[in-house]
A and B are shown apart, each in its own frame.
Chain A
């Protein structure tokens, strides 16, 4: 298995982020109170960056100091920054839930090694004025990549902090001009059992399908990602193009997307089809709504030993809670 040693990755990253660190010292001090809170284990979202700060996107992640969470928010990521240390590259790329390859998280990277991610086209259609089929390389030219440091909370009870590269889904959706009848967005993963051996597991209704309400899809936090840690996305992380919706359980962030359709009915996701009583359409991170079989009150951050309390909307309540005002989140799990 071609494992990338953390020694090959981290130093480069530390090197890149160190320069940013020198410029970010003032900012970090400004957010020191938030850091103190985070250190006490009752971490909250850091406040948005008080001032725009010029820095190339690839340098825009906070430096990581083991044991002491840093809170310098990235200028491009605005409120999206996470006040916690980044998860190791080796863990993000070596511990993956991607059932298309395997249900064994440690086996995915190896099985996905030769997955063909180029050429790759995405078809955006459905209830739109201007349907579009576009290659990923053209998407990259059209939409500048920015870095977003997001928490990722798996429905199984573990979490990571990932420096994604990507672009806002809203921009792409505006380009195709959704009709007024479009209320939801449906996403679909590639169906190719030859390349994705997990798709031979016949009891899953492949291809993987996910859905968002249109306003969720248009939200500033929702991105299509093409990379992480300043590098092109690897197959095990959903290359070449995946969704990232940080306030929802990880399974909503569908990988290796080939199709995006605007529709008028809530799409039925693969997990809703598999176990409707366990997985609903919304799947917002919510410590107060347990999975029918296990608690969601706490989580383990990969790389840490203890447990953290899970935050409502994965800590993004300030930005997204208003999307759900008046809704019973126990009913709409």
Chain B
């Protein structure tokens, strides 16, 4: 609390820098992917590499967008709220690329194979469900829709929690043996959801000043 006054003074310029950094950081993986594609640096199995990389980036951005609210409510970093929408929309962008690469580039829109892939591969099914969930959220992310939906907007956008869980299940199911990394991301999502529970939030708010002064 003591730092609030001085932070407010410099927050505008710092906030702009942080905003720009969020956009640059979110676009960097795409730039790197295009660079690697142009330099034929995408392994012997390039389509799979593109699928993995777009999927992984979507996951990371989704987790980061889920971190914004707790950063504000629990840790008092108010700027974070402004990063939530761009991070969520970039996550959707990469999820869309991921979906398009799978259906068009990988399966060449072969409906017979795609149907088989989606109904036989349960990981593809949950991934697809997560992507479908994100579509209405992306559409209603504008200020206009926020006003139009009022209280229902918040309720609608809580669907991102379900999407987060589905994405983790998708990841855990697709790895062959070594589940350490997907489970680590699962722990991150669980933690971020836990920080939204009012009791947990209140408890951390109570002990936070003590941590600061320690």
Residue ranges of A at the interface with B (Cβ–Cβ < 8 Å) = 88, 90-91, 94-95, 99, 103, 105-106, 155-156, 158, 201, 203-204, 274-275, 290, 293-295, 297-298, 300, 302-303, 305-307
Contact = CB atoms under 8 A, between A and B. Distances in A.
Interface in B138-183: 173-174, 176-178
A290 B120 CA distance: 7
Contacts of B116: 295, 297-298
Contacts of B120: 290, 294-295, 297
Interface centre among B44, B47, B124 (most CB of A within 10 A): B44
B47 A305 contact: yes
A158 B45 contact: yes
5 contacts: A99-B177, A158-B45, A290-B120, A297-B113, A302-B44
A90 B40 CA distance: 13
A91 B45 CA distance: 9
Contact of A293 (B108, B174, B178): B174
Contacts of B82: none
A307 B45 CA distance: 12
Contacts, number: 61
Nearest to B113: A298
Given A290-B121, A300-B45, 14 more contacts: A88-B44, A94-B44, A103-B178, A201-B178, A203-B177, A204-B177, A294-B124, A294-B174, A295-B116, A298-B116, A298-B117, A302-B44, A307-B110, A307-B113
Nearest to B112: A297
B43 interface: yes
B14 interface: no
B107 interface: yes
A321 B206 CA distance: 70
Contacts of B174: 293-294
Interface of B: 43-45, 47-48, 105-108, 110, 113, 116-117, 120-124, 173-174, 176-178
B108 A158 contact: no
B55 to A, nearest CB: 15
Nearest to B123: A293
Contacts of A106: 43
B86 to A, nearest CB: 31
Which of A88, A95, A307 has the most C-beta atoms of chain B within 10 angstroms of its own C-beta?
A307
A294 B43 CA distance: 22
Given A95-B44, A103-B177, A106-B43, A307 B123 contact: no
Given A103-B178, A307-B107, A307-B113, A295 B44 contact: no
Given A275-B177, A302-B44, A295 B117 contact: yes
Contacts of B176: 155-156
Nearest to B107: A307
Contacts of B108: 306-307
Nearest to A305: B47
- Interface centre among A105, A106, A290, A295, by most chain B C-beta atoms within 10 angstroms, is A295
Contacts of B45: 95, 158, 300, 302
Contacts of A297: 113, 116-117, 120
A65 B178 CA distance: 39
Contacts of B47: 300, 305
Contacts of B48: 158, 300
A183 B53 CA distance: 46
A103 B123 CA distance: 20
**4 shortest interchain CB distances as A-B pairs:** A95-B44, A91-B44, A295-B120, A294-B121
B122 A293 contact: yes
